Amino acid sequence: MNEDAVRERLRQVDDPDLGDDIVSLGLVNDITVEDGTVSVSLALGAPYSPSETDIANRVRDALADTGLDVDLSAYVPGDGTGDILPNVQNVIAVASGKGGVGKSTVSTNIAAGLADRGARVGLFDADIYGPNVPRMLASDQHPQATEDERLIPPEKYGIKLMSMAYLAGDDDPVIWRGPMVHKVITQLVEDVEWGHLDYLVVDLPPGTGDTQLTMLQTVPLTGAVVVTTPQDVAVDDARKALQMFGKHDTNVLGVVENMSTFHCPDCGSDHDIFGTGGGRALADENDLPFLGELPLDPSVRAGSDDGAPVVLDDDSATGDAFRRLAANTADMAGIIRRRTAQTDR
């Protein structure tokens, strides 16, 4: 079997998100047949995402009866995020229009969920005024420094962590003006030995201020996840976050609704304490994916306080909801990367 015959086999494999076969879409970078092995390079950019894993499995199936060993690799032309983070495939910002909607909880659980799937993950706590990701992961180690004064991030649950909390005292308030914010954010991105990452999740502070602007101007984001609760006040502020990303031509991966429903363990009934449907309505209004609903569950609060992300609890229905969120986030990042691969050809 030669390369042309392999390519014809691969026309059987569709990308359901982009609506055509992977050959016609330009998602096959290269094919070689040599010494009983067919090597296929695919333009897939979201490692361990369910959709891209399924595409890779269907490629193997299409070549299963050829008598050849199948060796798959993935590479998106222009891979990485440029000079700033050359070894990071995807940078995903998690944002909210207001505080108190569980943005850091969502960030932490997305990162832990992706790492649990097998991905190489970093988590940058960019909420410099209220950094609490280290507590949420019970990370009491601090960064080490190399000889050239670059920071080596500590790891927890397979996640490389960086936070202002490591650099300031536990009870010291951070009182900085805009130029200082820009400088420290830039340093915490550029002067950290992140290594090779599939995903860097960035927990932005609430609102649309200096930190968000610095990130948008400094780091090429794959996309953003916008967090809201169902209530109108939170949705109104989340809409402002969407407008901020739109003005800076940043992809929005989707909207997630946190604290959707409280299931009462005593009476067995569900209660919409903060209303219902606001996140889904916001997504529909802006023609964006709705990434999921996360219940209002005391185990989420307990896990955050104890440093045990609920996404890692295999026996929890709430953990299932967070695992679906992590999977949906990776899927949406993959769609954006595959579309980019098409336009870059």
Binding residues: 97-104
- Closest by CA to 8, choosing from 18, 20, 23, 27, is 23
- Closest by CA to 205, choosing from 185, 183, 230, is 185
Helices marked H in the chain? 3-10, 50-62, 103-116, 133-136, 178-190, 210-218, 232-247, 278-285, 298-306, 317-343
CA 211/CA 208 separation, integer angstroms: 8
Task: Write out the binding residues for ATP.
Answer: 97-104
CA 68/CA 72 separation, integer angstroms: 12
**Helix, strand, coil % in the chain, rounded to nearest 5:** 40, 25, 40
CA 213/CA 63 separation, integer angstroms: 47
